[in-house]
């Protein structure tokens, strides 16, 4: 049995039954990383110490510890600060930065017994939808050599898809968890804004950044969310909403009214929409109701996001001046420079009303539209990407072309609603994801409906052939 | 159509402390113009009298009690640990004179 | 004579460091005076990647308190904004401040203008809260000029108070600043000490041409404004303003409009010096702080703070003046801080109950830089009465002591003669010392005042 291919649920069962040990699991993962990662580039830093830590975890388990993630190897996206472990945000600006503290999510995972097997690759600073904007080697899609993984949580998605680790953290500001999950045949979760603490994750767009997960299955996602979610006194935007047992909630019977916005299918690759429609039929057969809806403001979501996100980015990257840590600003790559400039221009004197203020007002209108829709439906569904995975370099030369990958995912970031990408049938041999968006703090609905798709299609059984 | 000029790109680069190389300015000018061209569509939104949203949580009055918490503080060593240049407990930069 | 045509129009911008326990957006200690560098920081105030701010409730309440003491309107909704600029002492590359929804606006404070002896109303445009920056120290190490940065002060709560340009003389500006300092010290929210840097002043000075016969109230503002920084004391405030008035007058007489710029007061040159000239005004690109939820102040919340407003110095002085018939200069000293006032109130009450002249007691408190901390008011009065029995009041003897005191206090005498009225106190003290405490202090003061009148 190749234990690295097991899901978190299966691993926990095996560990409980003493069929395997954390030590064996971590050793096997490391072996796999050593063999295949040089072609996948999913890790910027790999920690061999994890094996020693796994041994300690096994001893703890023997003594009766019930920590929920004891001895489970995680990939941590390299924009999450990890105390004592190099954190680069995939940029040369932080090539030698060793954080002095842990992000809250990492703290929580550690308290739950999780182990860090490595820091995963990303589009530097979260700036990207393909995984190509990294200074540490572009991540390869484990299912399709030479094709992008999607971004920005590219390394996390690839690592989970390639069974290098059991699960990984990701940050989703405009689709960065859902997109790579979609291209890598795994589950990508963006919780509600304010559900999971942002403290200690390098800020991209403060008002849309959501910390989430890349996992093999929906159960895995729900289980780990229960561990990392919750109010944090260090994050003034984290909400004091109690954290339910998401797995328990997920297993409660629930038949949803699923809104399908026609705008989500405008200009979408026909093969992609076919697979999405198949998934919708499955849900109908399972007893959910499909409702046609219209969300006209979705057409403005991307330009609104472009202004809001880059404006906040321009301020959030101002602290990188090389004085207290890292290298000077001349080490920023082109993509970062571009976004900083767009944001700076959008906020500058004479332009702030036209861009920043107008975008903020538009955001209000978009939110109103979604809230109105949720009065009649329980969930919104659609594709994740407008097109299947593309070749490295295909979209990179035209920044705008690249940005338009995000049009379907950014609405949920602007509204703060939770969203998930669940694998559906491949399109011409490329993994494809199905997107669900729920009202605030209604993650359980997405898990429930996502589970229905997963149980029917069982895409988690389709493993990549690594090289 | 908002065509950005070279001067505007340089100005924005200066505001953002990016020290753009002359060779880059033209490239960025073209890319930024194309992006703002697309973004300009937001002008079509009917936003008269619409309030701005800059936070989606709806939280207000999130305050912290005025007490010292030492757990999250850094030692001098930790504070300085990331810097390339330090001197007797201080961060060091090239001399600057006026504010 | 020249000022008949050019009226100085002066506004002040004051920054006050609050004496809260913790910093504005993190739980590090706020007291940083004399602490080794970079020993009171955390990810938040050091601007480390990923750190997020959380707002200090007391600092916000203190700001509201200051606003109330200055007769301001307190906002019902308020928020923080990011003010963006690059400087090595600003770790995040932006300062969390307040832009268009400050905590308080539209206040006023009265000051006496020396010229008119009438009270002038100085309008307060706004009072808001923000965070302080780190400190820069310039040094030469191994022959090389470097700048050192200490972030202990980074993040300390800073209240910014901006006045309208309603002051018309250096003396008026000084009095305003001193009044403001006293009020803030009374509120107990800051030690407001210019030497320690917990009170900082900047002045805007310009001159406007007026018809000498017309009303001074709300003159038309001129089309330029000179900002003066690096003012470290009330004395320098007066000097800097007077220097500027002179400098600008000379330019305007030549029909030259003074350049709109920022200048720094130089003690060494006894002048304001132009700082590096910036062609364009800084573009701070303010936008609402996304990491801190907005604030809503209910009427009951504001009222609770209003109730906690202590009696302020002016009200106290009015009360003491009426009740004990004390002269103004005594009142100023007795109310200079809470501790002195508490002592004085107790002592004055005792004086009345023991049928001792309160003015005698007040004078004794003022002239003896007595260790009021260690002596109780009861003990103080007792010792006074004991001494009174042996008080020397005959003029020739007093003359001797007074003359000696004058010759031994040449600096104080010079200061007093140049207008620094408080410089008389040490001379009185010297005379008292020479008399081994037996001289009648009231008579000593009278004698000194008449002798130094020229």
Listed by start position, the domains of chain A span 3-461
Residues 305-344 of A with CB under 8 A from C: 311-312, 314-315, 317-321, 323-325, 344
pLDDT bin (cut points 50, 70, 90) of residue A460 is: very high
Nearest 5°: the CA angle A250, A256, A258 is 120
Distance CA A155, CA A146 (A): 15
Residue C149 and residue B94: Cβ atoms within 8 Å?
Answer: no
pLDDT, mean over chain B:
93
What pLDDT shows up at residue B1?
Answer: 54
| In-domain check, residue B66 | no
CB-CB contact of A467 with A447 (8 Å) = no
Closest CA–CA distance from residue A387 to any residue of chain C (Å): 33
Name which of A300, A365, A416 is nearest B56 (Cβ-Cβ): A416
Question: With an 8 Å Cβ cutoff, is B69 touching chain C?
Answer: yes
What pLDDT shows up at residue A353?
Answer: 96
The one catalytic residue in A12, A21, A42, A77 is A77
User: Which of C51, C43, C35, C44 minimizes the C-alpha distance to C135?
Assistant: C35
Q: Residue C353: phi, psi to the nearest 5?
A: -70, -25
> Chains with ≥3 Cβ pairs under 8 A against B?
A, C
**Number of domains chain B is built from:** 1
* Dihedral sign of CA atoms C182, C184, C186, C190 in order: negative
What pLDDT shows up at residue C327?
Answer: 87
What pLDDT shows up at residue A409?
Answer: 97
| In-domain check, residue B96 | no
- Print the domain residue range for B23: 6-44
From B93, which residue of chain A is nearest by alpha-carbon distance? A323
- The residue written with tokens 């102040």 in the block is C297
User: Per the structure block, which two tokens stand in for A331?
Assistant: 């080490």
In this predicted model, which residue has the larger pLDDT, C216 or A287? A287
| In-domain check, residue B78 | no
Mean pLDDT of A283-307: 97
> Chains with ≥3 Cβ pairs under 8 A against A?
B, C
User: Which of A68, A58, A392, A304 minimizes the C-alpha distance to B39?
Assistant: A304
Name which of C39, C57, C139 is nearest B64 (Cβ-Cβ): C57
Name which of B16, B24, B78 is nearest A100 (Cβ-Cβ): B78
Across the beta sheet with A289-293, the strand order is: A43-46, A115-120, A73-77, A167-172, A210-215, A187-190, A419-427, A430-437, A379-383, A257-261, A289-293
- The residue written with tokens 């036209």 in the block is A354
The helix-helix angle for A358-373 and A298-316 (nearest 10°) equals 130
Residues 6-25 of B with CB under 8 A from A: 8-9, 12-13, 15-20, 24
State whether residue C252 is helix, strand or coil. Answer: helix
> Does the domain at residues A3-461 carry the CATH identifier 3.20.20.140?
no
CB-CB contact of A266 with C83 (8 Å) = no
Distance CA C390, CA C191 (A): 40
Q: Residue A229: phi, psi to the nearest 5?
A: -75, 160
A152 is catalytic: yes
* Dihedral sign of CA atoms C254, C255, C261, C262 in order: positive
Cis peptide before A152 (omega within 30 of 0): yes
User: Per the structure block, which two tokens stand in for A462?
Assistant: 């389709």
The one catalytic residue in A21, A22, A103, A176 is A176
ipTM of the complex: 0.96
In this predicted model, which residue has the larger pLDDT, C113 or A49? A49
Distance CA C287, CA C285 (A): 6
What pLDDT shows up at residue A426?
Answer: 97
- Structure confidence by residue, pLDDT tens digits, B19-61: 899 999 999 999 999 999 999 999 999 999 999 999 999 999 9
A77 is catalytic: yes
Question: With an 8 Å Cβ cutoff, is B99 touching chain C?
Answer: yes
**CB burial string A326-363: b at 16+ within 10 A, e below:** bbebebbbebbbbbbbbbbbbbbeebbebbbbbbbbbb
In order along its 454 residues, chain C shows pLDDT tens digits of: 444 578 999 999 999 999 999 999 999 999 999 999 999 999 999 999 999 999 999 999 999 999 999 999 999 999 999 999 999 999 999 999 999 999 999 999 988 765 566 778 999 999 999 999 999 999 998 889 999 999 999 999 999 999 999 999 999 999 999 999 999 999 999 999 999 999 999 999 999 987 766 656 666 778 899 999 999 999 999 999 999 999 999 999 898 999 889 999 999 999 999 987 665 678 999 999 999 999 999 999 999 999 999 988 888 988 999 999 898 888 888 888 888 888 899 999 988 888 888 888 898 888 876 667 778 888 888 888 877 777 788 888 889 999 999 999 999 999 999 888 889 999 999 998 888 878 888 889 989 999 888 6
Distance CA A181, CA A431 (A): 9
Distance CA C103, CA C97 (A): 11
pLDDT at A56 over 70: yes
* Dihedral sign of CA atoms A124, A125, A131, A132 in order: negative
Mean pLDDT of A122-149: 97
CB-CB contact of C411 with C395 (8 Å) = no
Distance CA B34, CA B1 (A): 9
Distance CA A168, CA A181 (A): 11
CB-CB contact of C363 with C333 (8 Å) = no
Q: What global pTM score does this model have? A: 0.90
Closest CA–CA distance from residue A363 to any residue of chain B (Å): 6
Q: What is the CATH number of domain C313-451?
A: 1.10.10.410
| In-domain check, residue B33 | yes
DSSP state of C311: P
Distance CA C265, CA C275 (A): 10
Name which of C41, C58, C275 is nearest B74 (Cβ-Cβ): C41
């Amino acid at each position: 049995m190749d234990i690295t291919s097991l899901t978190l649920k299966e691993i926990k069962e095996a560990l409980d039954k003493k069929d395997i040990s954390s030590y064996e699991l971590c050793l096997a993962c490391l072996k796999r990383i050593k063999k295949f990662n040089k072609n996948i580039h999913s890790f910027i830093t790999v920690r061999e110490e994890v094996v020693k830590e796994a041994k300690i975890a096994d001893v703890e388990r023997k003594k009766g510890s019930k920590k929920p993630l004891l001895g489970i190897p995680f990939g941590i996206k390299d924009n999450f600060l990890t105390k004592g472990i190099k954190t680069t945000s995939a940029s040369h600006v932080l090539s030698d930065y060793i954080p002095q503290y842990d992000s809250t999510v990492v703290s929580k995972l550690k308290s739950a017994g999780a182990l860090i097997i490595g820091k995963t690759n990303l589009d530097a600073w979260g700036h990207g939808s393909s995984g190509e904007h990294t200074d540490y080697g572009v991540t390869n899609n484990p299912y399709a050599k030479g094709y992008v993984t999607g971004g920005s949580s590219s390394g996390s998605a690839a690592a989970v898809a390639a069974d290098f680790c059991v699960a990984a953290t990701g940050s989703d500001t405009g689709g960065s968890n859902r997109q790579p999950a979609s291209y890598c045949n795994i589950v990508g979760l963006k919780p509600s804004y304010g559900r999971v603490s942002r403290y200690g994750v390098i800020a991209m767009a403060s008002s849309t950044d959501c910390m989430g997960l890349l996992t093999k299955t929906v159960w895995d996602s729900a289980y780990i969310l229960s561990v990392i979610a919750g109010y944090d006194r260090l994050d003034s935007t984290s909400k004091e909403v109690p954290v339910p047992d998401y797995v328990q909630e997920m297993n409660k019977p629930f038949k949803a009214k699923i809104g399908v916005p026609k705008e989500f299918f405008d200009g979408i690759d026909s093969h992609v929409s076919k697979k999405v429609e198949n998934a919708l039929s499955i849900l109908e057969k399972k007893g959910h109701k499909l409702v046609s809806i219209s969300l006209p403001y979705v057409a403005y979501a991307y330009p609104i996001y472009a202004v809001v996100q880059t404006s906040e980015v321009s301020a959030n990257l101002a602290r990188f001046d090389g004085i207290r840590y890292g290298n000077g600003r001349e080490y920023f790559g082109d993509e970062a420079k571009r976004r900083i400039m767009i944001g700076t221009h959008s906020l500058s004197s004479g332009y702030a009303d036209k861009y920043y203020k107008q975008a903020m007002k538009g955001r209000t209108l978009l939110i109103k539209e979604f809230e109105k829709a949720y009065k009649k439906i329980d969930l919104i569904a659609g594709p994740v990407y407008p097109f299947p995975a593309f070749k490295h370099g295909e979209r990179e030369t035209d920044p705008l072309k690249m940005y338009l990958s995000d049009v379907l995912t950014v609405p949920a970031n602007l509204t703060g609603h939770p969203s998930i990408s669940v694998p559906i049938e491949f399109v011409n041999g490329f993994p494809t994801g199905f997107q669900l968006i729920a009202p605030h703090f209604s993650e359980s609905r997405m898990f429930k409906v996502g589970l229905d798709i997963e149980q029917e299609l069982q895409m988690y059984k389709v493993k990549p052939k690594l090289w | 159509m908002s065509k950005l000029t070279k001067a505007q790109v340089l100005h924005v680069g200066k505001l953002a402390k990016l020290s753009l190389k002359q060779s880059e300015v033209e490239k960025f000018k073209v890319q930024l113009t194309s992006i703002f061209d697309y973004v300009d569509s937001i002008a079509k939104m009917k936003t008269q009298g619409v309030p701005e949203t800059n936070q989606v949580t709806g939280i207000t009055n999130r305050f912290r009690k005025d007490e010292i918490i030492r757990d999250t503080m850094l030692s001098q060593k930790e504070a300085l640990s990331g810097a390339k240049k330090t001197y007797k407990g201080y961060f060091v930069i090239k001399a600057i004179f006026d504010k | 004579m020249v000022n008949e045509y050019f009226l100085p129009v002066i506004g002040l911008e004051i920054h006050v460091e609050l004496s809260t326990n913790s910093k504005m957006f993190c739980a590090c200690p706020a007291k940083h005076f004399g602490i080794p560098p970079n020993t009171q920081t955390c990810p938040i105030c050091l601007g480390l990647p990923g750190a997020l701010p959380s707002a200090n409730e007391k600092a916000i309440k203190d700001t509201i308190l200051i606003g109330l003491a200055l007769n301001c309107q307190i906002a019902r909704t308020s928020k923080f904004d990011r003010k963006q600029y690059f400087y090595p002492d600003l770790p995040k590359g932006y300062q969390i401040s307040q832009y268009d929804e400050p905590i308080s606006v539209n206040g006023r404070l009265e000051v006496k203008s020396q010229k008119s002896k009438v009270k002038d109303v100085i309008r307060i445009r706004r009072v808001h809260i923000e965070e302080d920056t780190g400190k820069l120290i310039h040094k030469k190490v191994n022959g090389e000029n470097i700048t050192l940065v200490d972030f202990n002060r980074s993040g300390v709560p800073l209240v910014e108070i901006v006045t309208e340009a309603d002051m018309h003389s250096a003396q008026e500006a000084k009095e305003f600043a001193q009044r403001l300092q006293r009020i803030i010290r009374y509120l107990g929210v800051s030690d407001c000490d210019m030497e320690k840097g917990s009170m900082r002043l900047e002045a805007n000075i310009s001159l406007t041409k007026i018809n000498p016969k017309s009303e001074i109230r709300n003159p038309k503002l001129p089309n330029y404004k000179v900002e003066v920084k690096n003012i470290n004391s009330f004395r320098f405030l007066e000097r800097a303003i007077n220097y500027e008035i002179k400098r600008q007058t000379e330019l305007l007489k030549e029909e030259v409009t003074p350049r709109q710029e920022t200048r720094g007061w130089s003690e060494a040159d006894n002048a304001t010096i132009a700082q590096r000239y910036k062609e364009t005004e800084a573009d701070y690109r303010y936008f609402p702080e996304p990491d801190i939820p907005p604030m809503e102040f209910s009427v009951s919340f504001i009222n609770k703070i209003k109730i906690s407003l202590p009696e302020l110095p002016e009200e106290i002085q009015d009360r003491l003046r009426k009740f004990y018939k004390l002269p103004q200069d005594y009142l100023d000293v007795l109310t200079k801080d809470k501790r002195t006032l508490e002592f004085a109130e107790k002592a004055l009450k005792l004086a009345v109950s023991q049928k001792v002249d309160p003015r005698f007691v007040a004078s004794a408190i003022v002239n003896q830089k007595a260790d009021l901390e260690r002596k109780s008011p009861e003990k103080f009065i007792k010792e006074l009465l004991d001494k009174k029995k042996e008080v020397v009041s005959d003029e020739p003897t007093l003359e001797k002591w007074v003359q000696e005191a004058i010759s031994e206090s040449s600096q104080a005498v010079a200061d007093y003669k140049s207008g620094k009225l408080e410089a008389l106190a040490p001379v009185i003290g010297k005379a008292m010392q020479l008399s081994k405490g037996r001289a009648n202090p009231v008579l000593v003061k009278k004698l000194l005042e008449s002798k130094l009148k020229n």
